[in-house]
Amino acid sequence: MLFRKLGIATIITVYLLVLAGGIVRSTGSGMGCPDWPKCFGMLIPPTEASQLPSNYQQIYAAKLHGEVEFNVTKTWIEYANRLLGALTGIIVFATFIASFSYWKKDKTITILSFLGVILIGANGALGKYVVDSFLKPGIVTLHMMLAILVIFVLLYAIARAWAKVIQTENVGKKPFLNKILILVLVLSTSQVLLGTQVREAIDKVIASPIFGYHRETWIEQMGLPFYIHRSYSLLILALHIYLIWQLKMNIQQQGIIYKFMQVLVLLIIIEILTGTIMAYLGVPAYIQPIHLTLAIISLGIQFVILLLLNFKNVTRLSQS
């Protein structure tokens, strides 16, 4: 029971970390702390430039390619992101410790939980390299890929534990649904990664002395990555509609898979709305992290549906 509760807390925290990372990215706060793990050489970052050495711009010029200007908002956004990352690591480790209760019953849960600890640590180390490399584009994308892998591994362990105390509905055409779900998962994941390329294109536009301060022109200047991402979204939408229709035709209307399906429908609708807002309202900074987080949550729900379709269990929740 402790593992299942901690597992839910872990997933929530990881998604909050994805949201925080999106906020860091959309506000341009990635270099708010030019060093790691400290921030301007401090355990607790400053709140004003007067707390820094008088020559701080020279000290950190190499790390920031000469672009050194203390911004308290960006510094604390990045610092909060790091604190949340540390908290996530602690909760993931606590979940791993709690997974020992399953060692005799299902070793896979413990092994996956340990893998989650390794991956979250690796992503933390990669986060350091992201800072050291001055937000190098390919590394930022790899950082996102590893975050998605962490979510999948932890979801697998947690869903496996919950599958022992809940009963999923009988499903018709399961092999066919599996193929559709895997296809949707693969294409949706690639769409998220394409989104990181769009974000990198935005960064280049922002850096432009001509267009950087004119949000209304950003979409026009992003070029091919944006148009691929936008057109590809139509294929993703069509596949989701087909997936949802097939699920509705082949599962019970009151079961847990059906409930996850309803949540997925809602998320896809909101995801489309946020994408439209970004395209027509100059890519508002407050929408970008929401758009990203919804996409990652949707991936998680797709993965959970796939797992629930294939887990075999006979025990009801009331018996746990």
- Quick: pLDDT tens for 278-300: 878 877 878 888 998 999 999 99
* pLDDT (0 to 100) of residue 41: 85
pLDDT, position 186: 93
Cβ atoms 295, 192 nearer than 8 A: yes
DSSP string, 153-185: HHHHHHHHHHTTTS-PPP-SSHHHHHHHHHHHH
Reading the block at residue 32, the tokens are 């708010």
Beta bridge partners, 42, equal: 39
Which of 17-26, 127-136, 262-271, 275-284 is predicted with the least confidence, judged by mean pLDDT?
127-136
- Cα(202)–Cα(223) distance, rounded to whole angstroms? 10
Average pLDDT value for the chain = 82
Q: What is the pLDDT of residue 320?
A: 37
Mean per-residue pLDDT, 40-69: 79
**Which of the pair, 316 or 258, is modelled with greater confidence?**
258
pTM flag (> 0.85): no
What is the percent of the chain where pLDDT is above 70?
A: 82
Q: Is residue 53 over pLDDT 90?
A: no
Asked whether the beta carbons of 25 and 289 are under 8 A apart, the reply is yes
Whole-number percent of the chain with pLDDT over 90: 25
How much is the average pLDDT of 261-269?
88
Backbone angles phi, psi at 95, to 5 degrees: -65, -40
pLDDT tens sequence across 10-35? 999 999 998 998 888 778 787 788 88
Question: Using CA of residue 279, residue 280, residue 281, residue 282, what is the dihedral sign?
Answer: positive
Assess contact for 310 and 181: CB atoms under 8 A. Answer: no
What is the pLDDT averaged over residues 255-280? Answer: 86
Arithmetic mean of pLDDT, 39-58: 86
Per-residue pLDDT averaged across 83-111, rounded? 92
| Whole-angstrom distance, CA of residue 307 vs CA of residue 301 | 10
Peptide linkage before 37 cis (omega within 30 of 0): yes
Domains of the chain: 1-162 (no CATH), 167-313 (1.20.120)
